[in-house]
Amino acid sequence: MADSGDSSVLFRSRVLFMTGKGGTGKTTLAAAVAKLAAAQGRRTLLCELDSQRPSLTAIFSRVPSYLPVVVGENLSICNVEWMPALDDWLADLVGAGRIVRMIMKNRMISIFLEATPGARDLMLLHRVAKLAERYDLVVVDMPASGNATGMLSVVSTSRRLFDTGPIRRCAEDIESMLARPDTNLVLVALPEEMVVNETRETRARIQAEVPRLRQPLILLNRATPVTLSAEERLLLDQLASSAELGVDGRELVEAGRWEERLECATAEALERLRALAPVVVLPVLARGEGAARVAGQLTAALARQSRVKVDLVGDAGRSASGGSR
Ligand SMILES: Nc1ncnc2c1ncn2[C@@H]1O[C@H](COP(=O)(O)OP(=O)(O)OP(=O)(O)O)[C@@H](O)[C@H]1O
Ligand SMILES: [Mg+2]
Tally of domains in the chain: 1
The residues, any chain, with a CB within 8 Å of residue 242's CB and separated by 6 or more, are none
pLDDT at res. 9: 84
Whether residue 321 is predicted with pLDDT greater than 50 in this model: the reply is no
pLDDT at res. 323: 36
Confidence at 87, pLDDT banded by 50, 70, 90: confident
Ligand 1, atom 18, residue with closest C-alpha: 25
**What is the CA(25)–ligand 2 centre distance, in A?**
7
Pick from 76, 88, 9: nearest CA to 48: 76
- Residue 30 Cα: closest atom of ligand 1: 18
- Residue 221 Cα: closest atom of ligand 1: 1
Read off the pLDDT of residues 114-160 as tens digits, 9 standing for 90 and up: 677 788 999 999 999 999 999 999 999 999 999 999 999 988 888 78
What's the mean pLDDT in 195-209? 96
- Residue 286 Cα: closest atom of ligand 1: 4
Read off the pLDDT of residues 258-309 as tens digits, 9 standing for 90 and up: 888 889 999 999 999 999 999 999 999 988 789 999 999 999 999 988 776 6
**What is the CA(83)–ligand 1 centre distance, in A?**
28
pLDDT at res. 53: 92
The Cα–Cα gap between 201 and 146 comes to 10
Query: Contact at 8 Å (CB) between 265 and 192?
Result: yes
Whether residue 325 is predicted with pLDDT greater than 60 in this model: the reply is no
The verdict on residue 241 lying in a domain is no
The verdict on residue 67 lying in a domain is yes
pLDDT at res. 265: 94
What's the mean pLDDT in 14-30? 97
pLDDT at res. 100: 62
**Which comes out higher in pLDDT, residue 11 or 135?**
135
Whether 190 lines ligand 1, by a CB cut-off of 6 Å, is no
Whether residue 256 is predicted with pLDDT greater than 90 in this model: the reply is no
Whether 145 lines ligand 1, by a CB cut-off of 6 Å, is no
Probe ligand 1: pick from 294, 299, 315, max atoms within 8 Å of CB?
A: 294
Burial 95-107 (b: 16+ CB within 10 A, else e): eeeeeebeeebee
- Residue 141 Cα: closest atom of ligand 1: 22
The verdict on residue 306 lying in a domain is yes
Probe ligand 1: pick from 18, 28, 187, 222, max atoms within 8 Å of CB?
A: 28
The residues, any chain, with a CB within 8 Å of residue 6's CB and separated by 6 or more, are 278, 280
Whether 109 lines ligand 1, by a CB cut-off of 6 Å, is no
Residue 228's SS3 state is: coil
Whether 294 lines ligand 1, by a CB cut-off of 6 Å, is yes
The verdict on residue 305 lying in a domain is yes
Whether 58 lines ligand 1, by a CB cut-off of 6 Å, is no
Whether 25 lines ligand 1, by a CB cut-off of 6 Å, is yes
pLDDT at res. 5: 61
The Cα–Cα gap between 38 and 312 comes to 10
**What is the CA(289)–ligand 2 centre distance, in A?**
17
The verdict on residue 258 lying in a domain is no
Whether residue 31 is predicted with pLDDT greater than 90 in this model: the reply is yes
Whether 285 lines ligand 1, by a CB cut-off of 6 Å, is yes
Whether residue 230 is predicted with pLDDT greater than 60 in this model: the reply is yes
Ligand nearest to the CA of 147: 1
Query: Contact at 8 Å (CB) between 299 and 36?
Result: yes
**What is the CA(96)–ligand 1 centre distance, in A?**
43
Burial 284-322 (b: 16+ CB within 10 A, else e): bbeeeeebbbbbbbbbbbbbebbebebebeebbbebbee
Domain residues for the domain of 207 are: 8-225+279-322
pLDDT at res. 322: 37
Pick from 136, 139, 127: nearest CA to 66: 127
Residue 266's SS3 state is: helix
**What is the CA(150)–ligand 1 centre distance, in A?**
22
**What is the CA(78)–ligand 2 centre distance, in A?**
14
Read off the pLDDT of residues 170-200 as tens digits, 9 standing for 90 and up: 899 999 999 999 999 999 999 999 999 999 9
**What is the CA(237)–ligand 2 centre distance, in A?**
40
CATH code of residue 135: 3.40.50.300
What is this structure's pTM?
0.88
φ/ψ (deg, to 5) at 217: -105, 140
Whether 223 lines ligand 1, by a CB cut-off of 6 Å, is no
Q: For all residues of the chain together, what is the average pLDDT?
A: 86
The verdict on residue 237 lying in a domain is no
The verdict on residue 274 lying in a domain is no
The residues, any chain, with a CB within 8 Å of residue 171's CB and separated by 6 or more, are 122, 155, 156, 158, 159, 162
**What is the CA(160)–ligand 1 centre distance, in A?**
37
pLDDT at res. 147: 94
**What is the CA(119)–ligand 1 centre distance, in A?**
29
CA 213, 217, 222, 226: dihedral to nearest 10 degrees?
Answer: 160
The verdict on residue 178 lying in a domain is yes
